[in-house]
Amino acid sequence: MKGRFIILIVAACSLSSCHVYKAYQRPEMDLDGLYRQTDSIQADTLNFGNLSWREVFTDKPLQKLIEQGLANNTDLKIAKLKIDEAEASLKAAKLAYYPSIGLAPQGTISSFNHSAASKTYSQPVTASWEVGIFGSLLNAKRKAKAAVEQSEAYRQAVQTQLIATIANDYYTLLMLDRQLEISESTAETWKRSVQTMRDMKEEGMTNEAAVTQSEANYRSVLASIPDLKRSIREMENSLCSLLGCNPGAVERSRLEEIQSPSGISTGVPLQLLANRPDVKQAEMSLAVAYYATNIARSAFYPNITIDGSAGWTNSAGEIITNPTKFLVSAIGSLVQPIFNKGKNIANLKIARAQQEEALLSFRQSLLNAGTEASNAIYMYQSATDKSREREIQVGALESSVEYTNELFLHGTSTYLEVLTAQQDLFSAQLSQVNDRFEQLQATINLYHALGGGREDEKVVSQTKSLQ
């Protein structure tokens, strides 16, 4: 027996350098050129994604909506429950190091050939302890711990997406509000233009074609207003669904009041590994698969279990003894798998394949993160450039409308030129609002692409208490 235990100790020592005891290590990743920079946004150790969402979205009504969403959103609540599930599994994995203890009282009453009945009983406490010297318990605990980190990363991913979606829907509402305001103002202006054209026709200064054309122009703007109002109502309902409340009106500011953050920096590509919750989630999936492979390897080595019991009995075999007789037993067993119909080999092959799949998914998630960051960076620059040019265009068209109206009143221009100038101005004004929305949307996308908004509730509550 002693020789067998020596053999086991030697085997355990020889396995100390084996893969089953090694902790997960991140595979090497080529991060050079992970995302492309632009001239207007610099890459340094500072990172726009490290800012609190309160520093990025400074509008008070929007902050209230984000707070409400973080408190009530269904998907985020489910993600938090998944963390509780993973933590419970981790606790169970830690407790596996301790013996399992149970109470197994037994009693019998027997009588032979009408003799007096004999009563025997035993009240043992049983215990069973698995000795995980071959890495099965260690890897199970590490796997459960990685699953907790994976669940936390999933919660952060849901939270960052929720914050970005709430902000995007909110800015969409502001854009629609402004477009509705421009449309209603334009409709009122063109309504007066129709009346002016009718007056001029009575004076013989124009013809019926110009009147009907101005009427059609006015009605086309009126026809666009119901669609804008419907879009506003639908966007409010969609936003309320994200907030976990019944459909209703949403308190909000005006588009012109929104301030964009300045001095944006994208950080360095290495920070995407730490900042992006989806990348971290993919890496923790790889860690879970790694430890699952180690568990499959451990199945090839012996399983050592120690069973024991202790208690009181009034019987030892067929001999009646003192009712307070103390009973103790202990058994050690070793099970070495020899032939299991190829099950352990198949399980190891499956685990290795799943680990390779997780590695590929991790690498792809990093590539996706780099692509999203690259697109968001360029979207921000292009939206800024376009907004600047659009402002110049709108100013020029406003002057064009004034000039053509004056020329038309003096009879040196046709109404077609007036109509064209008005339509161009109206279209440019709507486009200018859309450009401003794209600029805000680009800020949201860049913030989200860099992992912004991932801070937990403790950080949020501390920030709130300081304000």
H helix or E strand, kind and range, residue 122: strand 118-131
272 band by pLDDT with thresholds 50, 70 and 90: confident
Predicted local distance difference test score (pLDDT) of residue 426: 87
Give the domain extent around 47: 25-98+134-301+343-466
Angle between helices 136-202 and 208-243 (to 10 degrees): 160
Separation CA 339–CA 342 (nearest Å): 7
Residue 355: which of 299, 285, 295 has the closest Cα?
285
CB 134 within 8 A of CB 418: no
Residue 374: which of 33, 35, 48, 40 has the closest Cα?
35
CB 444 within 8 A of CB 168: yes
59: domain CATH number is 1.20.1600.10
Angle between helices 415-449 and 343-409 (to 10 degrees): 150
Query: Does the residue 48 lie in any domain?
Result: yes
294-353: pLDDT as tens digits: 888 888 877 777 766 666 666 654 444 445 555 555 565 656 666 666 788 898 999 999
Predicted local distance difference test score (pLDDT) of residue 421: 84
Predicted local distance difference test score (pLDDT) of residue 263: 65
Query: Does the residue 206 lie in any domain?
Result: yes
1 band by pLDDT with thresholds 50, 70 and 90: very low
464 band by pLDDT with thresholds 50, 70 and 90: very low
Query: Does the residue 122 lie in any domain?
Result: no
Q: Which of 76-85, 129-138, 248-257 has the lowest mean pLDDT?
A: 129-138
Query: Does the residue 5 lie in any domain?
Result: no
Predicted local distance difference test score (pLDDT) of residue 132: 66
Average pLDDT for 429-438: 89
Separation CA 42–CA 264 (nearest Å): 8
**Sequence letter at residue 80:** K
**Sequence letter at residue 305:** T
More confident residue, 221 or 93: 221
- In 3-state terms, what secondary structure has residue 100? strand
38-73: pLDDT as tens digits: 655 555 546 788 889 998 999 999 999 999 999 999
pLDDT score of 369 more than 70: yes
74-123: pLDDT as tens digits: 999 999 999 999 989 888 888 776 777 777 677 677 766 666 767 776 66
Concatenate the DSSP letters of all residues of 343-404 into one string: HHHHHHHHHHHHHHHHHHHHHHHHHHHHHHHHHHHHHHHHHHHHHHHHHHHHHHHHHHHHHH
Q: Which residues pair with 265 in a beta bridge?
A: 42
Residue that has been written with the tokens 């030697």 in this structure: 10
Prediction pTM value: 0.79
Q: Which residues contact 213 (CB under 8 A, 6 or more apart)?
A: 415, 416, 419
Query: Does the residue 438 lie in any domain?
Result: yes
380-420: pLDDT as tens digits: 888 888 888 888 988 898 888 888 878 777 767 677 777 78
pLDDT score of 281 more than 70: yes
Query: Does the residue 320 lie in any domain?
Result: no
The total number of residues written for the chain in this structure: 467
373 band by pLDDT with thresholds 50, 70 and 90: confident
Residue 380: which of 308, 440, 318 has the closest Cα?
440
Angle between helices 60-72 and 136-202 (to 10 degrees): 140
pLDDT score of 466 more than 50: no
How large is the C-alpha radius of gyration of the chain? 37
Query: Does the residue 451 lie in any domain?
Result: yes
Predicted local distance difference test score (pLDDT) of residue 247: 92
Token pair belonging to 114: 């009408």
Query: Does the residue 449 lie in any domain?
Result: yes
Predicted local distance difference test score (pLDDT) of residue 175: 94
Token pair belonging to 51: 């800012």
H helix or E strand, kind and range, residue 201: helix 136-202
Average pLDDT for 374-383: 84
Residue 424: which of 388, 408, 400 has the closest Cα?
400
pLDDT score of 254 more than 90: yes
More confident residue, 319 or 138: 138
The tally of domains found in the chain comes to: 1
- In 3-state terms, what secondary structure has residue 186? helix
Average pLDDT for 20-34: 81
The mean pLDDT of the chain is: 80
Q: Which of 178-192, 272-286, 300-314 has the lowest mean pLDDT?
A: 300-314
